[in-house]
């Protein structure tokens, strides 16, 4: 029996089905660290954290500037090693996906560039 994936009337199943269209990038951080970094970015930019499921390695954000504030953007995290994590940013809206990817990836790029120096 499959556990329902609906939370407050929203289904993450559609986001999971769109993962093949995700914008993907690897980062030099442990899974939990990357998860927390994304939540911090969401808070800093006053995004709505709709779902944060560490066990499922999933964050769903809403409220990106330039798109309908209820448009969901999923961020799937996959550990590659203990210190490297793959991020997949996906949305049913290509505009929301692009805007979210640019924001999340640029903030993480800046963070890890600073740490290297």
Higher pLDDT, 12 or 110: 110
Q: What is the phi/psi pair of residue 91, to 5°?
A: -150, 155
Domain boundaries, the chain: 28-116
Distance (Å, rounded) from C-alpha 71 to C-alpha 46?
A: 15
Superfamily, domain 28-116: Kinase associated domain 1, KA1 (3.30.310.80)
pTM over 0.85: yes
Q: What is the pLDDT of residue 116?
A: 63
Higher pLDDT, 111 or 3: 111
Q: What is the pLDDT of residue 114?
A: 72
DSSP at 24: E
DSSP at 94: H
């Amino acid at each position: 029996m499959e556990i329902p994936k609906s939370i407050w009337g929203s289904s993450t199943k559609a986001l999971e089905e769109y993962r093949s269209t995700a914008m993907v990038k690897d980062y030099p951080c442990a899974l939990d660290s990357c998860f927390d970094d994304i939540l911090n970015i969401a808070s800093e930019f006053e995004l709505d954290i709709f779902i944060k499921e560490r066990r499922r390695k999933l964050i769903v954000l809403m409220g990106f500037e330039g798109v309908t504030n209820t448009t969901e953007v999923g961020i799937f995290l996959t550990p590659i090693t203990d210190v490297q994590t793959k991020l997949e940013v996906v949305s049913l809206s290509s505009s929301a996906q692009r805007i979210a990817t640019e924001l999340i990836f640029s903030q993480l790029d800046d963070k890890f560039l600073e740490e290297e120096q």
